[in-house]
A and B are shown apart, each in its own frame.
Chain A
Amino acid sequence: MEGLFDQYEVQGFYDEMFDSSGRVRPHYEMLLQRFSEMESADFERKKLLAERTYLNQGITFTVYSGDEGTERIMPFDLIPRIIPSNEWEHIERGLVQRLAALNLFLHDVYHEQRIVREGIVPEEIIRSAKHFRPELVGFTPPKGIYIHVCGSDLIRGGDGQYFVLEDNGRCPSGVSYLLENRQAMKRVFPKLFARYAVRPVDRYPQELLSVLRHVAPDGKSDPTIAVLTPGIYNSAYFEHSFLARSMGIEIVVGQDLVVLDAKVYMKTTKGLKQVDVIYRRIDDDFLDPSVFRKDSVLGVPGIFEAYRAGNVNLANAVGTGVADDKVTYYYVPAMIKFYLGEDPILPNVETYLSAVESDRKFILDHLPELVVKAANESGGYGMMIGPHASKEEIAKFRDAILADPRGYIAQPVVQLSRSPCHCGETVEGRHIDLRPYILSGERTVIIPGGLTRVAMRKGSLVVNSSQGGGSKDTWVLDDGGAAC
């Protein structure tokens, strides 16, 4: 009678929808019932409908081959991931705590460095962090907020416990997919959606806008705000434009801005107009060719000087990369204790630092069983999954670790939880993670849920869109009382 799910097996993984005996979890019951009425062909039709909308709206990223770019949509799976309200409350508390510690850490790192003096984090780790910006020592951004937008990746292990896998405190992307996935699900399954009390996500752009207003220099009450994008050829351009549109603010590229007397101006048809806050989607390195990378054509010469002079604010702050370095990650639980005097609510994944001699020995002895990651890479690059790696790959990483111990960390392979996904004719389990978007302004706000990313390739543990990952809508249930 179950049709689509007839052949479904959890295969010993933690499954979001079914327990280990194959019984459906209570919060998925209605969904199973609705989907069981459907044939695979119906499902395929609905999927095409959703995909057509993405294509027409231009929700695409560009894949370059030869001289012509092809626009692709990110694979979208129609089976939502459902998170019960109690689980979400736990996640939310954990993330609020974590972000508070990260912001305090950044302030400390660029001021007294108490955490170093008290021996919690070795000085060497900070000094050698690729994204530490000595130019900013002693500088405090408006309201003391560094990471305005954070995307921390969560995973669940074999027993369903949530772990933080990494923090993205520079320019986390993907939030537009979260919002568009929701639109698509409402269109494709309106009745099912209505029967579940799903907490809304649509106010994200407005929340982001109030964060940006909150951090205007000198508490300016009606600041001019803009989104700074690398341009239409950037793979996340759709998102930049989407956010600017939803916030009703200008989207600018580097050449639209000019710095005069340490103030930033937009070039408009009516002359120059001063800009107060910039939500920049350009990395520190490319921001200002007069200070950072000289070859950057995306940036704005002089913008760093304007920032230091306090005439413009940038979100996220310059130099936050020292907090999302994968070596720094190791110290986040200790930071939480140090700054907040609390135990971490969301644990880290067990991590070994190759910079520490005893850990390094362990890593080198166990390479085929571990996941090795470069400390400063993201997007699934610079990573080796031991059990899936060839002998050559393992040898390559061994050499790399020995050459640059500070540059790598290792973790045991976590068998990410799985969620049923529609794969051609059948429904099969695929590994997933969760990227919630955390906003720090007057208070910390997290849009219920986040972007659930799916490793669409069978057996794969890599969910990044640049590596063939897809996504699905994430439904956080409202149990009645929770305000949102």
Chain B
Amino acid sequence: MLSRVADACFWLSRYMERAETNARILDVNIQLMLDFEEQNGGTIQQHWQPILATLEDQELFSEIHTGISGDAVMAFVTFEKSNPNSILSCVSVARENARTVREQISSEMWEQLNRLYLFLHSPAARSAFIESPIDFYRSLVDSLHSFQGITDATMTHGEGWEFLRAGKFCERADSTSRVLDIKYHILLPSGEQIGGTLDVTQWMAVLRSCSAMEAFLKISRGQVTSWQVAEFLILHDSFPRSIRFCVDGLDQALHNISGTDRGHFSNEAERLSGLLRSNLDYTTIKDIFDRGLHQYLDGIQLRLTEISNALVSKYCTWLESTQRQSQTS
């Protein structure tokens, strides 16, 4: 496979996943907002600011907007063209990449992605958004899920598909770590207790934004505590959005690409992913909280970036002179 094509598949997939993460986070935050009766400037800011912190977009946001409001944050994360991580930008970049590899992906995949792109650029998207943001984000997530399904059902599960899968899992592991980290940025108002109503509601929102509510409740038998939620989203071995599951998928994709057996490595990307994978296999939630959840998640994000960089330099190095995509976050 051409190096350029591998590069395009990897990033196409990452950007689609990033768009999905954004839609999920916004959806959940709107719902969370609605659960609070008292809404003044302080609470509003308190609810929307963490989103910007999680997505690492605060600086750009304050260049465009003067104050934080729900509408401003939603518009910024959804439609803002100058925000390279807005849903609109992510889908546009994904489509740009797809256009360069149309002979690799199936026509069905291209059409699904292109329809989504055309929709987001149409006035219909704005009016759907205004009418019901919740429905809008849900249908966006639906479209993105369809893309995943179409990809698995119509594309040969060969090298190109493995690069798509590597991109998907790499981005998804990163995004789960960011969603979890939102909770770190939301400070409990004074008087609220850890384990109190507000705390529990916030943890439930984190679960919902990972579509993990139902799966989690089956295991926890109704209890929602920070430890349990974090353990589930970081260490669960078969929930498809847990960090461990995603890193395992990433590691598997990398090994399938090179044909090396799992447990061995033939390049730096595989070595790093194998290392992270075994760390996740043998870490306990107590270790994580002893070290500090936020610090641990930061470490995960850093290691994912290293794996991503190693993959790019192993398989796509020919592109050095024309690297377009340097915004590896």
Give A contacts to B, CB under 8 Å: 55-58, 231-232, 237, 241-242, 244-245, 249-253, 255-256, 266-270
Contacts and interface: CB of A to CB of B under 8 A. Distances in A.
A268 B114 contact: no
Contacts of A253: 4
A-B interface, 4 closest residue pairs, ranked by CB to CB distance from nearest = A267-B318, A245-B103, A244-B103, A269-B315
Contact of B4 (A57, A242, A245, A255): A255
A266 B1 CA distance: 9
Nearest to A255: B322
A245 B318 contact: no
Interface string B1-26: 11111100000000000000000000
Interface string B242-286: 000000000000000100000000000000000000000000000
Given A232-B100, A269-B257, 5 more contacts: A232-B99, A241-B99, A241-B103, A251-B103, A253-B4
Contact of B3 (A237, A249, A269): A269
A55 B118 contact: yes
A56 B2 contact: no
A267 B118 contact: no
10 contacts: A56-B115, A56-B118, A57-B111, A58-B102, A58-B110, A250-B103, A255-B318, A268-B1, A268-B3, A269-B3
Contacts of A249: 103
Nearest to A229: B100
Contact of A266 (B2, B110, B316): B2
Interface string B317-329: 0110110000000
A255 B103 CA distance: 18
Contact of A252 (B2, B99, B316): B2
Given A56-B118, A57-B111, A267 B100 contact: no
| Central interface residue in B1, B99, B102, B159, by most chain A CB within 10 Å | B102
Contacts of B115: 56
B254 to A, nearest CB: 12
A61 to B, nearest CB: 13
Interface string B102-142: 11000100110011001000000000000000000000000
B152 interface: no
B96 interface: yes
Interface string B183-225: 0000000000000000000000000000000000000000000
Contact of A256 (B3, B114, B159, B257): B3
A274 to B, nearest CB: 14
B97 to A, nearest CB: 10
Nearest to A273: B2
| Central interface residue in B2, B3, B96, by most chain A CB within 10 Å | B2
A231 B324 CA distance: 14
A270 B1 CA distance: 7
A58 B99 contact: yes
Contact of B114 (A58, A251, A255, A269): A58
Contact of B102 (A241, A266, A269): A241
B319 A255 contact: yes
A231 B96 CA distance: 11
B24 to A, nearest CB: 26
Contacts of A267: 2-4, 318
Nearest to B118: A55
Given A267-B3, A268-B1, A268-B2, A255 B107 contact: no
Contacts of B3: 256, 267-269
Contacts of A58: 99, 102, 110, 114
Contacts of B315: 269
A269 B159 contact: yes
B111 to A, nearest CB: 5
A244 B104 CA distance: 10
Contacts of B114: 56-58
A7 to B, nearest CB: 35
A231 B101 CA distance: 11
Interface string B90-101: 000000100110
B323 to A, nearest CB: 11
A199 to B, nearest CB: 25
B103 A269 contact: no
B145 to A, nearest CB: 19
Given A256-B3, A256-B4, A269-B315, A232 B103 contact: no
B2 A237 contact: no
| Central interface residue in A57, A244, A251, by most chain B CB within 10 Å | A251
A237 B102 CA distance: 11
| Central interface residue in A58, A237, A251, by most chain B CB within 10 Å | A58
A165 B239 CA distance: 66
A232 B8 CA distance: 13
A244 B115 CA distance: 22
Contacts of B257: 269
Interface string B274-317: 00000000000000000000000000000000000000000110
Given A58-B99, A255-B322, A269 B6 contact: yes
Contacts of A245: 102-103, 107
A250 B99 contact: no
Contacts of B4: 253, 255-256, 267
Contact of A250 (B2, B6, B159, B318): B2
A397 B118 CA distance: 44
| Central interface residue in A56, A57, A269, by most chain B CB within 10 Å | A269
Nearest to A237: B99
A267 B4 CA distance: 8
Contacts of B107: 57, 245
A472 B316 CA distance: 42
A267 B1 CA distance: 8
A251 B115 CA distance: 24
A269 B266 CA distance: 14
Contacts of B316: 269
Contacts of B5: 250
B111 A232 contact: no
Contacts of B1: 268-270
A55 B111 CA distance: 9
Contacts of B159: 269
Nearest to B7: A269
Contacts of A252: 2
A202 B159 CA distance: 29
Contacts of A266: 2
